[in-house]
Structure 1
Amino acid sequence: MAFILLLIAIVPLGLAVKSKGKMFGKLGIFLTYAAFVLQLVYFVVRWVAVDHAPVSNMYEFMTFFGIMLTGSYLIIHFLYKQLVVGLFTIPVSLIILGYGSVFAKEVSPLVPSLQSHWLTIHVMTVAFSSAILSVSFATGLIFLLRTLDVSKKSISTYSLEFVLYCLVVVIGFIGISTFFSLTAYDLQVQFENAQGQSEKAVYSMKPLIVNKGAVTENGDAVGLFEMTNKIDAKKLNSIVWAFMIGTVLYTAIRLVTRKSVSVILKPWTSRVQPQLMDEISYRAVVIGFPLFALGGLLFAMIWAQIAWSRYWGWDPKEVWALITFLFYAAFLHFRLSKGWEGEKTAWLAIIGFGIIVFNQVFVNLVIAGLHSYA
C-alpha cells in the first residue's frame, strides 16, 4: 500500500513542479507522509513479529533503506519546501524498495553473529546515513539536469546519461525478477566450491552464468558461461540479467521517444534554483557523513569484536565502508578547503551514491565475505 501511495504521489508532485499548483503539491506531500507512516507501521509490526530488528537480510535492509530515504526527503521538504527534490528522490526510494522486494521475505533464525543489539544499531545507522547521503545524489542529479546543455554531446552529458541508464538497469532487474517469480522458476544446480566441497544453489532466474562444473540434479550441463568458484555465480547471474533487460528497456525508451533520458527529464528542472540544490546536497553530506562514520565504522567495529573477536578484518564489506568514509571525507575537504561547488560537487555526490550502491549490492551479492548473508 505504501509503495502504491508513493507511486501515486509522483503524479501530483510532477504537476506541482510544472505548474506551481499548490493543491497538487499539498496532495503529493500528503500522500508521501501517509506512505511514510504506513512504512513505519510495517517496520514496527515486523519487528514485533520476528522479535528482532528487521534489518538482518537484503530484503529487510533495502526496505528500511527505502523507508529512511522517504523520511529523509520529508525532512528536506520541511526545511526547504522543494517539491522537485521529492520528484527525484521518491522514484529512487521506489527503486530501492522494488529492488529489496525481489529477495526472500521469509523470516529465518538469526545466525549467532547477528544476535547482537550492536548489529541493530550499526545497520540502522548505516541505512539512515546512506539515505541522507542519497538525497545529495538526487539534488546533484537535479543540479546537472538544470545546468548542463543535455542536447549537446560532451563527457558530462554522456556521463549523466550513463547514470540514468544505470537507474533503468535496476528497474529492469526488478521487472525480470518479478517475471521469474510469477512463473515460479526454480532450478537447483550443484558444483564444487572453492574448498572442493559439493555445494548446491537454487536459481530463481534462468542460469546464464554458473560456477565451474555446475550440473543439474540429473547431471545435465547448465549455463552458457562458467565462472571461478570464488565468485557467487548465481548472484552474478542476476546482475547479468539486470543489465540485459535494463539495456533493452533503455533502448526501447530511446527508440520510442527519440530522446535521451536526460533530455526527457530536463524540463522538470526548469524552475530549479541551482544554488539551492547545491546547498541541499552539501547539507545532506554534512549530516550523513558523520552518521555513516558512526554506523559504518565505529558501531560496525564494536559489533565485529562481539561477533568475530576482532575489530577489523579487511572483509570486503569493511573495506568498502572505509572507502565510502574516505570518499565523503574528500568531498567535504574539496568543498571546504578547495572551494569546490556546483557541478564538481554534484558529480561527487553522484559518485558517492554509486559507491554506496556498489557496497550494498555488488559487495553483498557477488564478493564472498563475512557479509555475504546480508
Structure 2
Amino acid sequence: MSGINGSMAHLSDTLFTTAIAVYALAAVGFTAEYSFGRRELRAGSRTVRARELVGAGGPPVSEPVAPAAPVSSERGSFGDRIGRFSVAVVVIGAIVHAASIAVRGIAVDAVPWSNMYEFANVAGLVGVIAFLGVVWKAPGIRRLGGFILLPAIVLMFLAGTVWYSQAAPLVPALRSYWLAIHVTLAAVSEGALMTSAVLTVLYLIKARHDKKPGTGTLARLAERLPAATALDKAAYRVVAFSFPLYTVAIICGAIWAEAAWGRYWGWDPKETWAFIVWVVYAGYLHARATAGWKGNKAAYVNLLGFFSITFNFLVVNIVVSGLHSYAGLS
C-alpha cells in the first residue's frame, strides 16, 4: 500500500499505540485512587434503628442516618482528584482510539473491522466506552477503572502484535453493507460484555468476602470494592444492554448468509458458537427475571457466556476452519 492510504494506515497505527499508552496512564491513576482513596462509606455501616424503636413503642433515637449510597471517595480529596483526572484521561484515550479506527477505515476504504485485529480494536473501544457509561450511572465503580481497563489494554496489545494485519482492501466475500451492520453490532455487544465479565469477577470476590471474611490480597481487595449488590446490578445492566444488540447481530448475519451463500443457517462453527453464546446469555437474563437469580449462580452463568465469546473469538477464528475464516492471520 502506498501514497495517501499508506500514510493513513501508518497514522492509524500510531494513534492505536498512543491510545494504549493513554489507557495505561489512566489505569495507573485509577489504581492510585483505589490504593490511596478513602475506604468506601456504605449505607448500613451504622445500624440506624430510630424508626424501628418508635414503631415498637420505644424512645426516639437521634443517631444520624448513614449515607444511602456508596461513595468511592470524599469529594475534593486526593483520591477523588486522581479519579476525576483518570476519567478525563480515559475520555482522551477513547477519542484517540476512535480516531485510529476512523483513519484505518479511510486507509482501507471500508468499515475497519473485517479481521481479528480490527474487530479486537473496535471491541476494546466499546469496552472502554461501556466502562465510562457504568461510571456515569454508578460513580462508586470509578475506582475499579484499573481492573476494567486491564482486559481492554491486554486485548489491544494482542491485537497490535499477535493479530495485527496490514491495512488492505476487503476480500470480495466481505464487500457488503451487511459487514457494517452485522459486525458492528457483534463488536459493540461483545466489547460491552467484556466489561460485564470483569464486574462479575469483582462481584464474586466481594460476595465471598462478605460471606466469609479472610486475610490476604483478595481480602484487602474486597474491602475496598463497592457493595456486592452494586457490582451485580452494574454487570446485569451491561448484559441487558448488550443482549438485544447481539441478537440483532445474529439475525443480520443470517440474512447476510442467505445473500452470500444461499442459506440462512448452516451450522458453520462460527454460527454454532454464536448461537451457544446467545443461549447462555438468554438463560442468564431469563433466570434473573423469572427465578430471581441475583447471586453467585447468575454470576457463573454470566462468566460462562463470556468464556463462550472468548472461545468463539480465539479458537474458532484461529484453529477451526469454516466459511467465516476471515481472521486475517497468515
TM-score normalised over the length of structure 1 = 0.67
Whether 2:330 is the aligned partner of 1:371: answer no
The separation in 1 between residues aligned to 2:248 and 2:144, in whole angstroms, is 26
Whether 2:21 is the aligned partner of 1:4: answer yes
Deviations 1:99-129 (A, max 9, x none): 2112232123322210011012111110101
Report the equivalent of 2:194.
134
Report the equivalent of 1:290.
244
Report the equivalent of 1:211.
none
The separation in 1 between residues aligned to 2:146 and 2:154, in whole angstroms, is 13
What SS does structure 2 have at the residue aligned with 1:371?
A: coil
What SS does structure 1 have at the residue aligned with 2:113?
A: coil
What SS does structure 1 have at the residue aligned with 2:131?
A: helix
Whether 2:25 is the aligned partner of 1:25: answer no
Question: How many Å apart are 1:306 and its aligned residue?
Answer: 2.1
Match of 2:169 among 106, 109, 113: 109
Match of 1:276 among 209, 224, 230: 230
The separation in 1 between residues aligned to 2:218 and 2:121, in whole angstroms, is 26
The separation in 1 between residues aligned to 2:104 and 2:194, in whole angstroms, is 25
Amino acid at match of 1:143: Y
Report the equivalent of 1:344.
297
Deviations 1:135-183 (A, max 9, x none): 2211111111112259x9xxxxxxxxxxxxxxxxxxxxxxxxxxxxxxx
Report the equivalent of 2:67.
none
Match of 1:67 among 125, 138, 142: 125
Report the equivalent of 2:136.
78
Q: Say if 2:108 and 2:170, in contact at 8 Å, map to a contact too.
A: no
Whether 2:58 is the aligned partner of 1:41: answer no
The separation in 2 between residues aligned to 1:63 and 1:266, in whole angstroms, is 34
Q: 1:40 to 1:69 in 2, by over 3 A?
A: same
The separation in 2 between residues aligned to 1:110 and 1:57, in whole angstroms, is 10
Which structure 1 residue ranges, 4+ long, deviate > 6 Å from structure 2? none
TM-score normalised over the length of structure 2 = 0.76
Amino acid at match of 2:154: I
The separation in 1 between residues aligned to 2:122 and 2:220, in whole angstroms, is 31
Q: Say if 2:31 and 2:145, in contact at 8 Å, map to a contact too.
A: no
Report the equivalent of 1:144.
204
Whether 2:75 is the aligned partner of 1:16: answer no
Amino acid at match of 2:316: V
Deviations 1:39-98 (A, max 9, x none): 011111111121101101111111111111111111111111111442221001011111
Report the equivalent of 1:156.
none
| RMSD of Structure 2 on Structure 1 (CA) | 1.9
Report the equivalent of 1:243.
none
The separation in 1 between residues aligned to 2:326 and 2:29, in whole angstroms, is 39
Q: Say if 1:114 and 1:307, in contact at 8 Å, map to a contact too.
A: no
What SS does structure 2 have at the residue aligned with 1:369?
A: coil
The separation in 1 between residues aligned to 2:143 and 2:222, in whole angstroms, is 7
Amino acid at match of 1:308: W
Q: 1:108 to 1:48 in 2, by over 3 A?
A: closer
Structure 1 segments unaligned to the other structure (5+ residues): 153-258
Report the equivalent of 2:156.
97
The separation in 2 between residues aligned to 1:266 and 1:142, in whole angstroms, is 12
Q: 1:326 to 1:114 in 2, by over 3 A?
A: same
Match of 1:319 among 272, 276, 283: 272
Deviates more, 1:319-328 or 1:76-85: 76-85
Whether 2:253 is the aligned partner of 1:300: answer yes
Q: 1:69 to 1:265 in 2, by over 3 A?
A: farther
The separation in 1 between residues aligned to 2:166 and 2:218, in whole angstroms, is 38
Q: Say if 2:131 and 2:195, in contact at 8 Å, map to a contact too.
A: yes
**Bigger Rg, which one:** 2
Amino acid at match of 1:97: M
Amino acid at match of 2:243: F
Structure 2 segments unaligned to the other structure (5+ residues): 1-17, 38-72, 74-78
Question: How many Å apart are 1:266 and its aligned residue?
Answer: 4.7
